[in-house]
Amino acid sequence: MSDSPKDTDGRHHVESMLMRESLVDREVQRTTETPVFRMLPEAHVIKVGGRSVMDAGRAVVYPVVEALAECLKTKKLIIGTGGGVRSRHVFSIGIDLGLPTGVLAQLAVADSLGNAHILGTLLAPHGVVAIPPEIFGHLLPLFIASAPGVVFNGDPPYSLWEHLPESGRIPPHRSDAGSFLLAECFGCKTFTLIKDVDGLYDRDPRGHAGAQLIREIDTTELRRRGFESLPFERVLIDLLDNARLLRSVQIVNGRHPERISAALEGEHVGTIVHAGHKARV
């Protein structure tokens, strides 16, 4: 320890830019804004809805699988799945038993993992399988270099460490958030959410016949309009605002499977949500 810089107060330091600094200090934080390296710039991340697609059965899932298979011929895909109705069920039982948010988050992984294996089975003829969450993140570049794509449970590995929601106890970071965060960290090319609606509406289209589709919007406008219901996890708004690499998401209707490959080509076929005005890139 003799050659490490030592404070007069007895802390042993390693020489670095952040030595002795409080990482909570706002000025220090400002100095750490550096351009971000993209690990997988050619890969596309797609989140396939649990309730909206996987739970809808063969009539919906098979055409989506076919569309994905078509994309896999020319593109590398990282496909996340949602937990769907089984997650809703385990949430309701868990809440009734008095279990906290972190436990609900831990339980929900099993459902989206089940859906990842279902989708992985159907995509197996194309060389795409579900990867165990324990090795998925670390080995992802290897999988993407060796296979046309992978399937994973879309959830982030927050488990017991899930954040507390503002209201109630449902985990706020579910599979939309997990798939988005992965795409952002690996610097992927696009992020697409496959759901069962054409995109974002001004009101829930399921209960309101006159609901208007919003083709394009940014997060500033989204916050201002305060929609009661969104076709994606609300936390995605914050994640988009803080994103450095992935500054938009597209919501696409899986009932029109031809739109999936169009979206990956950069076409506007659903609702595109952009990060807000405070763009930093």
| Residues between 197 and 236 that touch another protein (CB under 8 A) | 204, 228-230, 232-234
- Candidate residues 80, 156, 199, 205; the one interacting with another protein per rule CB under 8 A: 156
Of residues 39 and 118, the one with the C-beta less far from another protein: 39
Cβ at position 126, least distance to another protein in Å: 25
CA atoms within 13 A on the CB side of 1: 6
The tokens 């197996």 sit on which residue? 124
170 binds another protein (CB under 8 A): yes
- Candidate residues 2, 3, 134, 210; the one interacting with another protein per rule CB under 8 A: 134
Of residues 71 and 143, the one with the C-beta less far from another protein: 143
145 binds another protein (CB under 8 A): no
Cβ at position 8, least distance to another protein in Å: 10
Cβ at position 74, least distance to another protein in Å: 26
- Candidate residues 40, 47, 91, 131; the one interacting with another protein per rule CB under 8 A: 91
- Candidate residues 24, 59, 145, 209; the one interacting with another protein per rule CB under 8 A: 24
**With CB under 8 A, what is the number of residues at the site for another protein?**
86
Cβ at position 263, least distance to another protein in Å: 22
Residues 171/25, Cβ–Cβ less than 8 Å:
no
